[in-house]
Amino acid sequence: MFDLIIWGGAALSLAGLVGLIWCIFRVNAARKAGLTDDELRAAVQAVLPWNLGSLFLSILGLMMVILGISLG
């Protein structure tokens, strides 16, 4: 039972990490595109909710792993 919580949390953490890496690539591509300050700010603001969501998934997954280890 607790193995499922641990592996589910690990998968959730991995999904969050993939999302964070995607955000890094997205902002890096916007920086290299030579955009103006306003356009770059808009691009970063568009990525910000995805970044926060990915960070939340990673934290939630790590909490599940810790909970599974503690209870198991």
Per-residue pLDDT of the chain (72 residues; tens, 9 = 90+): 889 999 999 999 999 999 999 999 999 999 999 899 999 999 999 999 999 999 999 999 999 999 999 998
DSSP the chain: -HHHHHHHHHHHHHHHHHHHHHHHHHHHHHHHTT--HHHHHHHHHHHHHHHHHHHHHHHHHHHHHHHHHHH-
In the chain, domain spans: 2-71
pLDDT given for residue 72 in this prediction: 85
Question: Taking Cα atoms as reference points, which of 3, 13, 20, 5 lies closest to residue 59?
Answer: 13
